């Protein structure tokens, strides 16, 4: 009986040990599965947060770009449709406003030969010699007075210095009155100044300069080129003293 009892007792203890071992293995397996599940859950939450942050960033970027694009369209539309206001016109440089007034008086009234250009600090009115003088002469023709009278009101609106420059071509002149092109160009500039003075422009604002053929606009090798170079430039010095 004792041997059988001992054998049964050992078998019972062995079975209990096996059972505990099996239970332990099951607990470890469950623990591992739970740990793995927790790890996967953490990664899922992390990825969700990243996705939300990316969506917020994209929304902010779109909100920043859309108003800018809209403003650009409005500005371009305004430039095309809206006329400049009085305040905007007053902000233009003085020379630009003067040039616009002179063009209104000259260029837009079938005087296409007369050119009004804006340079740095000055406005240049280029008058071909044929609209003012006969060939090789320095006396104003009849229609010249009408042209110059259109310039006078604009000149009287300010006290800017004025230079009147006479220019000729390179064809020599030897007359009793004008021994050279220097004399002719200076006389033509002086004639224009005398007329402007008679119209009320202060003589202290003006000076006459004769350049003869030393400042050509184009080569003097054709009739057309020489005609372009024969001119009187009336220059308004917006930035001060004549140059």
- Tens of pLDDT, residue by residue over 48-64, are 777 878 878 777 877 77
Helices (H), 82-123: 86-90, 94-105
CATH classification number, 87-237, choose in 3.30.70.360, 3.40.50.1220, 3.30.460.80, 3.30.1330.60: 3.30.1330.60
Domain ranges of the chain: 1-82, 87-237
- Tens of pLDDT, residue by residue over 170-213, are 999 988 899 999 999 999 999 999 999 999 999 999 999 999 99
Lowest-confidence segment of 75-84, 159-168, 191-200, 232-241 by average pLDDT: 75-84
pTM of the model: 0.60
Q: By C-alpha distance, which of 166, 165, 159, 148 is closest to 237? A: 159
Helices (H), 82-141: 86-90, 94-105
Model confidence at 26: pLDDT above 50: yes
**Range with the largest mean pLDDT of 5-14, 54-63, 109-118, 222-231:** 222-231
User: Would you say the C-alpha torsion 85, 87, 93, 94 has a positive or negative sign?
Assistant: positive
Q: Contact at 8 Å (CB) between 229 and 166? A: no
Residue 169 exposed, middle or buried by CB count within 10 Å (0-12, 13-18, 19+): buried
């Amino acid at each position: 009986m004792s041997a059988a009892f001992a054998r049964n007792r050992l078998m019972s203890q062995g079975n209990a040990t096996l059972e505990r071992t099996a239970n332990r293995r099951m607990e470890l397996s469950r623990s591992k599965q739970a740990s793995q599940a927790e790890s996967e859950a953490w990664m899922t939450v992390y990825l969700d947060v990243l996705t939300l942050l990316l969506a917020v960033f994209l929304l902010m970027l779109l909100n920043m770009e859309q108003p800018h694009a809209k403003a650009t369209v409005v500005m371009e539309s305004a430039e095309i449709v809206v006329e400049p206001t009085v305040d905007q016109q007053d902000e233009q440089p003085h020379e630009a406003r003067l040039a616009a007034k002179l063009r209104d008086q000259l260029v837009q009234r079938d005087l296409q030969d007369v050119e009004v250009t804006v340079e740095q600090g000055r406005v240049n009115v280029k008058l071909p010699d044929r609209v003012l003088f006969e060939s090789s002469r320095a006396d104003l023709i009849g229609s010249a007075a009408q042209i110059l009278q259109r310039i006078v009101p604009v000149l009287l609106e300010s006290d800017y210095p004025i230079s009147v420059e006479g220019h000729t071509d390179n064809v020599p002149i030897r007359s009793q009155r004008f021994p050279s092109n220097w004399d002719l160009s200076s006389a033509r500039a002086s004639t224009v100044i005398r007329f402007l003075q008679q119209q009320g422009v202060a003589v202290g604002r003006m000076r006459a300069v004769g350049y003869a053929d030393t400042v050509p606009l184009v080569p003097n090798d054709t009739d057309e080129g020489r005609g372009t170079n024969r001119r009187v430039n009336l220059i308004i010095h917006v930035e001060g003293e004549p140059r």
